[in-house]
Amino acid sequence: MSLQKRPFYVTTPIYYVNDVPHLGHAYTSTVADALRRFHLLRGRDARMLTGTDEHGLKIDRAAKEQGVTPQAFTDAVSQRFRDAWPKLNVRADDFIRTTEPRHIEFVQSLWKVIADKGFLYKGAYEAWYCVGCETFKTEKDLLPGNLCDIHKKPVERVKEETYFFKLSAFQDRLLAFYEAHPGFIRPETRKNEVVSFVKSGLDDLSVSRTSFSWGIPVPGDDKHVMFVWFDALANYRSALEGNDAHGKPLRRYWGPEGEVVHLMGKDILRFHAVYWPAFLMAAGYTDAELPEAVHAHGFLTIDGEKMSKMTGNVVDPLRVAEEFGADVLRYYLLRAVSFGQDGDFDHAGFIERYNADLGKNLGNLVQRTIGMCAKYTNLKVPDAGVYTALDTELVAGVQRELQKAADAWTAIEPHAALEATMAASSLANTYVDRAAPWAAFKDGDLPRVGTILHALLDVVARLSIAIYPAMPDKSDRVRAQLGLSPISALLDHDAWPLGATELTIGAALPPGTPLFPMYDKEQTELLLAKLRPAKAPAMTDTPAAPVPAPTAAAAPAPAAPEAPPAPITYDQFSAVDLRVGLVVACEKVPKKDKLLKLQVDLGEPEPRTIIAGLALTFTPETLVGRRVVVVANLAPRDFGKGLVSHGMLLASGPSEALHLASIDEGVAPGSKLK
């Protein structure tokens, strides 16, 4: 069966109910939801599962501390997770709880199958146990002082009767499976860690407890409850028993018929990449029936610091979504963090990226396009006319970027997918300036005006589809401004926007409204003061200062008057060597969000390397071929790691909304400005 025809099944880890939804939970859930939406766009039968993990000693103790039963405790916290996800536009097809009868029945049947095959035996176990991890720790796992290597808290010494799972019997088969399926563990760096762990030797695994009772009873021996991870991991399969609302068997989502992708944080990768496939192998599953991939992501820090209740910097995703809208938070989480790597939720960077990517780039493109249609075509979709080389260059560039985006979504690289999507938008914004429809209108060339605006409307229509996985609400808002049907009407076929245009000549266009109003400096500072978690809790009855509504236009609020700079002499000014440069190559600087590395022709034997903070406004491809103004006699500036800049470009505006000083095309590179 081809990949496109195979059902797609993506899961989050089921979240432990000792906590309320935080940014880490929101991140994994948003990625899973975006992947589901992308595959639905491709015409695939796609399903997403999330839920809550509700058994274990930690829950038992937390319930007792609150004076309630474990079931009442888990009912309340689980509901908070269930209620949170729609507020972030996360639309899981199923929400499973490990206390549900359907799950308990499946897990007990799985236990029986594994026991009947001889992979479970009873014994006694004495070891260190971390309540936070709900797992045993070896001496080599512990930090000095018998502290958990994850939580940095003391572990407990436990000795009790237990059932063991013969994990050691699956060492060779697991290694053979990893070798035969190199894409099973992602990213590659995590795969190397898991393979090294398995090669070092696997001990049999304790999979039951007798010291507490809040868990799934072991069949035939209810003095024991199952190890919480044996219970929890099985949710991915227990949720596929029975039929869906249309009477079709849910089993179709599991391998080999379906493509199964598990997403989780790197701290629980071992459970998913070692224990889970071993449990399935023990139950008789073939290699073809194991998940397609287990994909671990990194940890999120907050403004460069580890997220922790102790420091008081835990970010409430619902609060951010309430302020900016769910789609804006989703976009930032998907775009700013390379999935699989550690990332940082930088509050200032969040607003910067909002202004640059969504306000100045995408929002500006939609607003300009609809605005020009109101001015030049009476809000009607114009005829395409005859495309010039400039128009076909735009079409080819947008198609190229949207193909990159599709490939990146397929590879579970949402950051790269959205980078390519915004690159397509940047190409269209640059095209507006190059095509200059206002000049054609002034010359009376109305067919040319129509062609330019038709090309722009077509790009906006394609972008309305391409942003759907990340921003489903904004996607439909863009489509409404084009008079197009909601995305839901397109999900019965492959609708990724690489085919024919959706536009209908002569169709009416509703008046446009700003999609992403920009935040000026004053508004940004007020928002940061409101949203940044306090470093330490403080008792106060003073309400937060109200934040002014964002401005509809991109122009910042007038700054307070400043003292004028001191005058300089003509001799001082003449010492500055300003020359015309032609950008011949441009690329991003790795791990530097704001920097681009340009090769600029100044009429010298070799192009100069110039490092410039342009990346929040421009993508590399939009700068190649542009004539710029260069300060040519600046002393070189060393940025470290072999990056040296030999000049400076002239520009104005904040870093997220820069305007480059430019020169007419007829001026030769190296020409001196006087």
Active site residue ranges:
22, 25, 130, 133, 148, 151, 306, 309
Q: Where are the alpha helices (DSSP H) in 532-580?
A: 570-574
The C-alpha atoms of residue 163 and residue 478 are separated, in whole angstroms, by 57
- Measured CA to CA in angstroms, residue 670 lies from 180, 478, 604, 647 at distances of 57, 43, 7, 13
Q: Where are the alpha helices (DSSP H) in 436-520?
A: 437-442, 446-466, 472-481
Q: Is the dihedral of CA 498, 585, 337, 149 positive or negative?
A: positive
- CB-CB contact of 111 with 103 (8 Å): no
> Is residue 561 reached through a cis peptide bond, with omega within 30 degrees of 0 on the bond before it?
no
- CB-CB contact of 198 with 91 (8 Å): no
Q: Where are the alpha helices (DSSP H) in 88-139?
A: 101-116
340 φ/ψ sector (left φ>0, alpha ψ -120 to 50, else beta) = left
Got the DSSP string for 266-307? Answer: GGGHHIIIIIHHHHHHHTT--GGGS-SEEEEE-PEEETTEE-
Residue 404, classed as helix, strand or coil, is helix
Could you tell me how far CA 489 lies from the centroid of its own chain?
25
Tokens for 170, please give them: 């699956």
Tokens for 359, please give them: 């306000």
- CB-CB contact of 366 with 427 (8 Å): no
Q: What is the bridge-based pairing of β-strands 659-660 and 8-11?
A: unpaired
Look at residues 646, 668, 582, 331 and name the one whose alpha carbon lies nearest to residue 467.
Answer: 331
Look at residues 2, 8, 110 and name the one whose alpha carbon lies nearest to residue 409.
Answer: 8
The residues facing 672 across adjacent strands are 579
First and final CA of the chain: distance in angstroms?
67
The C-alpha atoms of residue 487 and residue 468 are separated, in whole angstroms, by 8
Q: Which residues contact 600 (CB under 8 A, 6 or more apart)?
A: 581, 582, 583, 584, 607, 608, 609, 610, 628, 630, 647
Residue 223, classed as helix, strand or coil, is strand
403 φ/ψ sector (left φ>0, alpha ψ -120 to 50, else beta) = alpha
> Is residue 567 reached through a cis peptide bond, with omega within 30 degrees of 0 on the bond before it?
no
Edge-to-edge order in the sheet of strand 608-612: 608-612, 596-601, 578-588, 627-631, 648-649
The C-alpha atoms of residue 100 and residue 322 are separated, in whole angstroms, by 32
